[in-house]
């Protein structure tokens, strides 16, 4: 038998179960058999024990057959190529795939190592800044409550305590509740005007007859529970659940700003009219430099965009002698908070300032844990950079002038109205 015919028969036999009608007819002609497709399948099944060997031999035979000349099997070949465009016995090329898998595996390991190092340096910088911070305020008792929505509310208090004073001498000029970790990834800030009249348990005699800024002072005189008592007052009057608190005085506020922003905070200084006159600059009390011997220091702040250090920013935020009074001061406090929070544009910026973040923790009286600071600060910075949703209680002009129980002027508000608004805002 011709060697070429023999090779063709071997090839067709090895691929018996794949043959089409034309190829089956060719096989029957060359072998003198008369197989049907059913018989072809049975024969192939009988031969499965030798399939691996036959496959290799068939492939080699087909290679030799393709190289042979002057053998007229054009029709069969065309039929086979039409229905079998791919070779079933070609071995897959795994070398490149293995190389790719190895590369990505190494890349993942490298990125993991970089991440671990970044976290390590961040934590180191944080604790280094915390250890080098000036002696701060002592952490107070605080029976914080989580919000039903899962968001985190933080009570932020800024007091007028100076270095030579005790906390029992101080009142809270700045009263804010900041919400973070909300489902909408928004940072929300609610400011309470210091002269708002509220009911204070154990103090008020005629209902809402005590200014809210007195609550911190009253609590501090009761075994240093100023933050806790303020939490109770806010819960009683506005039905707000608060989990954490942060308390700063004049000196700690300036230290925080100068640590976090060595080049100053960029802010557009704005004042209302004074005695009906538009102003280009304002002489404000220099609170940080106030001493018993020098009781009326003054600092001049120009209107417009500028960079403020901690001392200047404090004086700007506390000023209330323009025609908007305490409402204008509250707006400036919100503006300052917005500038501070949005100044940190990304986690990388915060990473470089991890030491400053530790300093902030060191000079602040707070029950916020180190773990919370380290894990939530980058996300909070990114959310705040998108803008802070601010709200003031009460809104401008939405109050009735009234007297507190001591005969001082205060602001009487509709508590049902503001409870409903805060429920919508904070959840």
Return per-residue pLDDT of the chain as tens, 427 residues: 677 777 777 777 777 767 777 777 777 777 776 555 555 555 555 454 344 445 445 545 555 445 544 444 444 444 444 444 445 545 555 555 555 567 777 777 777 777 776 666 666 666 666 666 566 667 889 999 999 888 999 999 998 877 677 777 778 889 999 998 888 888 899 999 999 999 999 999 989 999 999 999 999 988 889 999 999 999 999 999 999 999 888 888 888 888 778 889 999 999 999 999 999 999 999 988 888 777 789 999 999 999 999 999 999 999 999 999 989 999 999 999 888 877 655 444 444 566 666 666 767 788 888 788 777 776 776 677 677 889 999 999 999 999 999 889 999 999 999 999 999 988 7
For residue 92, is it within any domain?
no
Looking at 62, 83, 104, the residue that finishes a domain is: 83
Q: Are residues 314 and 402 in the same domain?
A: yes
For residue 133, is it within any domain?
no
Closest C-alpha to 189, from 181, 178, 200, 197: 178
Q: Are residues 182 and 311 in the same domain?
A: yes
Q: Are residues 42 and 161 in the same domain?
A: no
How many residues are recorded in the chain? Answer: 427
Q: Can you state the angle between helices 3-14 and 21-31, rounded to 10 degrees? A: 130
pLDDT of residue 30: 75
For residue 132, is it within any domain?
no
For residue 144, is it within any domain?
no
Write the DSSP assignment of 367-421 as a string of letters. Answer: ---HHHHHHHHHHHHHHHHT-EEEEEESPTT-SEEEE-TTS-EEEE--HHHHHHH
pLDDT of residue 101: 60
Q: Are residues 231 and 378 in the same domain?
A: yes
Q: Are residues 204 and 310 in the same domain?
A: yes
Q: How does DSSP classify residue 156?
A: E
Q: Are residues 156 and 270 in the same domain?
A: yes
CB 284 within 8 A of CB 298: yes
For residue 100, is it within any domain?
no
CB 174 within 8 A of CB 333: yes
Q: Are residues 240 and 363 in the same domain?
A: yes
* Coil vs helix vs strand at 273: coil
For residue 110, is it within any domain?
no
CB 338 within 8 A of CB 265: no
Give the Cβ contact number of residue 159 at 10 Å: 26
For residue 316, is it within any domain?
yes
Q: Are residues 178 and 275 in the same domain?
A: yes
- Residues 7, 190: Cα–Cα separation, whole Å: 89
Closest C-alpha to 309, from 321, 297, 317: 317
Radius of gyration of the chain (CA): 40
Closest C-alpha to 368, from 49, 144, 35: 144
Q: Are residues 162 and 78 in the same domain?
A: no
Range of the domain at 12: 3-83
pTM over 0.75: no
Q: Are residues 359 and 248 in the same domain?
A: yes
Q: Are residues 338 and 421 in the same domain?
A: yes
Looking at 83, 98, 116, the residue that finishes a domain is: 83
Q: Are residues 196 and 294 in the same domain?
A: yes
Q: How does DSSP classify residue 207?
A: S
Contacts of 277-285 spanning 24+ positions with Cβ under 8 A: 279/303, 279/322, 282/319, 282/322, 284/315, 284/316, 284/318, 284/319, 284/321, 285/315, 285/318, 285/319
pLDDT of residue 219: 92
* C-alpha 52 chain-centroid distance: 58
Looking at 83, 100, 115, the residue that finishes a domain is: 83
| CATH number, residue 177 | 3.40.630.190
């Amino acid at each position: 038998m011709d060697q070429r015919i023999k090779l063709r028969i071997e090839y067709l036999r090895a691929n018996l179960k794949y043959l089409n009608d034309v190829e089956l007819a060719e096989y029957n002609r060359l072998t003198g058999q008369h197989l049907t497709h059913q018989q072809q399948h049975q024969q192939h099944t009988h031969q499965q024990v030798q399939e691996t060997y036959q496959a290799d031999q068939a492939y080699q035979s087909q290679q030799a057959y393709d190289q042979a000349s002057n053998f007229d099997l054009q029709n069969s070949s065309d039929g086979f190529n039409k229905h079998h465009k791919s070779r079933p016995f070609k071995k897959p090329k795994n070398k490149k795939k293995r190389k790719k898998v190895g590369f990505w595996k190494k890349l993942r390991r490298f990125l993991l190592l970089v991440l671990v190092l970044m976290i390590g340096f961040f934590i180191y910088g944080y604790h280094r800044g915390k250890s080098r911070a000036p002696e701060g305020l002592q952490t107070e008792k605080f029976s914080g409550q989580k919000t039903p929505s899962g968001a985190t509310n933080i009570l932020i208090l800024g007091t007028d305590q100076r270095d030579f004073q005790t906390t029992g001498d101080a009142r809270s000029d700045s009263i804010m509740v900041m919400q973070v970790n909300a489902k909408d990834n928004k940072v929300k800030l609610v400011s309470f005007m210091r002269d708002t009249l509220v009911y204070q348990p154990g103090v008020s005699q005629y209902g809402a007859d005590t200014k809210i800024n007195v609550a911190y002072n009253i609590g501090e005189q009761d075994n240093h529970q100023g933050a806790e008592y303020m939490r109770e007052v806010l819960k009683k009057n506005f039905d707000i659940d608060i989990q954490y608190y942060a308390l700063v005085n004049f000196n700690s506020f300036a230290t925080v700003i100068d640590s976090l922003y060595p080049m100053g905070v960029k802010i557009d200084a704005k004042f209302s009219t004074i005695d009906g006159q538009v102003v280009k600059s304002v002489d404000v009390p220099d609170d940080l430099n106030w001493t018993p011997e020098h009781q009326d220091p003054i600092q001049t702040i120009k209107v417009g965009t500028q960079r403020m250090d901690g001392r200047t920013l404090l004086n700007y935020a506390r000023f209330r002698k323009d025609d908007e009074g305490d409402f204008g001061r509250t707006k400036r406090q919100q503006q300052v908070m917005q500038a501070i929070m949005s100044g940190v544009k990304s986690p990388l910026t915060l990473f470089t300032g991890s030491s400053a973040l530790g300093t902030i923790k060191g000079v602040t009286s707070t029950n916020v844990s180190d773990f919370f600071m380290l894990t939530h600060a980058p996300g909070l910075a990114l959310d705040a950079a998108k803008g802070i949703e601010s709200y003031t209680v009460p809104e401008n002009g939405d109050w009735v002038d009234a007297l507190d129980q001591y005969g001082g002027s205060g602001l009487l508000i509709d508590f049902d109205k503001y409870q409903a608004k805060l429920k919508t805002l904070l959840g």
